[in-house]
Amino acid sequence: MSGVRLDHAGPAQPGDVLIRSAHALDPRAALDAPADLLIRDGEVAELGAPGALEAPDGAELVDGEGLIAVPAFVDPH
């Protein structure tokens, strides 16, 4: 899986969250793979292979092992 950089990871903003090794699933983007996700201001700011993203200082770290990350408004059926 290649990483998609949507924003530069600078200092942590209030509410920055790094989810490590979640199963990212987005049918519209043909994405179905383990990934790290950096959430900034309530949106995915960076997406990368597990272990590829660096957490900004002060970011909350979440172990995503066994979790599925999907975009909002995806029909799961």
* Cα torsion angle, 5, 55, 9, 15, sign: positive
Query: Residues near 21 by Cβ (< 8 Å), separated by ≥ 6?
Result: 34, 35, 36, 50, 51, 63, 64, 65
- What pTM was computed for the model? 0.75
Dist CA 16 CA 37 (whole Å): 10
Burial of 12 (0-12, 13-18, 19+ CB in 10 A): middle
CATH superfamily, domain 16-69, is Urease, subunit C, domain 1 (2.30.40.10)
Domains of the chain by residue range: 16-69
pLDDT digits (tens, 9 = 90+) for 7-40: 555 665 668 999 999 999 988 889 999 999 999 9
Instruction: Band the pLDDT of 54: cuts 50, 70, 90.
Output: very high
